């Protein structure tokens, strides 16, 4: 058994309240471990200090790889390896290569994005994720603070959570 992680868990009733709470708590110098919500809260990323995802850069890279693979494959096959006369078109008939290149771009970009996302988020078949309070998949908003990573006392932080609108505050020990 590895060391247990101490979490202070605040339960909020409203997305606007938890958003304001995040801003206030971070202003006090307290690091927030994670916020769990039943639906995406627009605008919470900058409040939590998250940097923008670079998934789109990965998608572009995967996509352009797909384009290059598909296009060069067709040029090599149709133009040099096994030239065929199809309807009197030139061997390297670029317009007819576009659909395949397009599809390959989409395929590579989408699969690449999915797998990148799974790897980065530590998701995948059999992955176990921390559920501090199952009600976050119903109607509650959960704010978790990793106690050991903060300097404030547990009591102070619990009061801070209450002051910012948390209806319940509890301490949870999780063994990884």
The residues of the shown chain that bind other proteins, judged by CB under 8 A, are: 14-17, 19-20, 23, 42-43, 47, 52, 56, 60, 87-89, 95-96, 98-99
Which residues are CB-neighbours of 151 under 8 A, at least 6 positions away?
29
Report d(CA 172, CA 48) in Å as an integer: 22
Rank residues 7 and 141 by Cβ distance to other proteins and give the closer one.
Answer: 141
Rank residues 18 and 157 by Cβ distance to other proteins and give the closer one.
Answer: 18
Report d(CA 160, CA 166) in Å as an integer: 9
CA distances from 110 to 16, 66, 119 (A): 33, 10, 14
Report d(CA 129, CA 123) in Å as an integer: 8
Q: How far is the CB of 62 from other proteins (least distance, A)?
A: 14
Q: How far is the CB of 29 from other proteins (least distance, A)?
A: 19
Rank residues 43 and 122 by Cβ distance to other proteins and give the closer one.
Answer: 43
Q: How far is the CB of 16 from other proteins (least distance, A)?
A: 3
Q: How far is the CB of 84 from other proteins (least distance, A)?
A: 14
Rank residues 98 and 107 by Cβ distance to other proteins and give the closer one.
Answer: 98
Question: 106: how many CB neighbours lie within 10 A of its CB?
Answer: 13
């Amino acid at each position: 058994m590895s060391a247990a992680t101490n979490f202070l868990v605040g339960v909020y009733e409203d997305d606007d309240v938890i958003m304001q709470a995040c801003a206030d708590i971070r202003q006090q110098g307290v690091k927030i471990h994670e916020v769990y919500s039943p639906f995406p809260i627009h605008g919470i990323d900058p409040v939590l200090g998250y940097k923008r995802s670079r998934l789109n850069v990965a998608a572009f890279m995967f996509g352009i790889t797909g384009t290059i693979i598909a296009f060069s494959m067709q040029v090599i096959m149709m133009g040099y390896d096994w030239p065929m006369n199809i309807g009197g078109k030139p061997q390297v008939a670029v317009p007819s290569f576009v659909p395949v290149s397009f599809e390959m771009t989409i395929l590579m970009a989408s699969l690449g994005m999915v797998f990148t996302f799974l790897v980065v988020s530590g998701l995948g078949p059999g992955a176990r994720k921390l559920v501090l309070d199952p009600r976050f998949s119903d109607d509650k908003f959960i704010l978790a603070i990793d106690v050991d990573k903060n300097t404030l006392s547990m009591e102070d932080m619990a009061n801070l959570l209450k002051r910012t609108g948390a209806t319940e505050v509890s301490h949870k020990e999780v063994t990884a």
